[in-house]
Amino acid sequence: MGASASARALEARERIAGLDWWHTIEVAPGVLTPGWWDLRATASAMPWPPSLAGLRCLDIGTMDGFWAFELERRGAREVVATDLVDPGRQDSPVGPRRGASGAARGATFRVAAELLGSRAEYRDLSVYDLEPETIGEFDLVVMGYVLQMLRDPLRALEAVRSVCRGHLILLDTVSAPLSVLPAPLARLSARQGQTEWFVFNRRGLQRAAELAGFEVETATRVLRDGAGPAVAASGLSAATRMRHALGVLGRSAAVRARARS
pLDDT value at position 242? Answer: 59
Question: Does the pTM of the predicted model rise above 0.85?
Answer: yes
- Give, for 203, the enclosing helix (H) or strand (E): helix 202-211
What CATH number is given to the structural domain containing 78? 3.40.50.150
- Is residue 7 assigned to a domain? no
- Is residue 6 assigned to a domain? no
Residue 79 domain boundaries? 37-259
- Is residue 242 assigned to a domain? yes
Structural contact between residues 112 and 140, judged by C-beta atoms closer than 8 angstroms: no
Structural contact between residues 42 and 66, judged by C-beta atoms closer than 8 angstroms: no
pLDDT value at position 5? Answer: 79
- Is residue 243 assigned to a domain? yes
- Is residue 176 assigned to a domain? yes
Structural contact between residues 255 and 211, judged by C-beta atoms closer than 8 angstroms: no
Number of compact structural domains in the chain: 1
Q: Which residue would you say has higher pLDDT here, 135 or 95?
A: 135
pLDDT value at position 235? Answer: 63
pLDDT value at position 96? Answer: 46
What's the pLDDT tens digit per position in 169-216?
999 999 876 555 567 788 887 555 556 898 999 999 999 999 999 999
